[in-house]
Amino acid sequence: MPGAAGVEAAPDWRNLVYEVFNPDYSVGVACDRSGMIVGLHLGDEVLDHPDSWLAEEVLRVARLARQKSRVGRRAELLYQGGLPHFADSLELPTEADYNLMEKAEFARDH
């Protein structure tokens, strides 16, 4: 939301949440900026699957949610004046990197 001078306020980095859902939205995981899980969504559809499927799906989506939070850390670092090569040295993925990870992970679902 623009401020009085028309300048956008900095994002509230500490309170951002990064969410990922599987393609059918039956499993979702939310992570904070540190990559810690702060939320889990399980739709009614999970009852149609064995526990082993659910465990695998939660882990799969949680890995992606953590990577998405790392994209957020990169954005925060760059916003605060950090250089891209420093973010690269920390192995923080770009948004494009993340999109490729997600596409590859969910490709088997289509």
Is 43 a domain residue? yes
Are the C-beta atoms of 75 and 93 separated by less than 8 Å? no
- Domain coverage including residue 88: 13-105
pLDDT along the chain (110 residues), means of 10: 68 94 97 97 96 97 98 96 97 98 88
Q: What is the predicted pLDDT for the residue at 3?
A: 56
pLDDT (0 to 100) of residue 5: 65
> What CA–CA distances, in Å, run from 95 to 7, 43, 53, 98, 100?
24, 27, 28, 5, 9
| Residue 24, in any domain of the structure | yes
Does 6 map to a domain? no
User: Given this model, what pLDDT does residue 2 score?
Assistant: 56
Q: What is the CATH classification number for the domain harbouring 68?
A: 3.30.1310.10
Number of domains in the chain: 1
Whether 55 is in a domain gets the answer yes
Residue 89 lies in a domain: yes
Bridge-based pairing of strands 18-21 and 37-42 is: unpaired
Give the per-residue pLDDT at 10: 82
Give the three-class secondary structure for 17.
coil
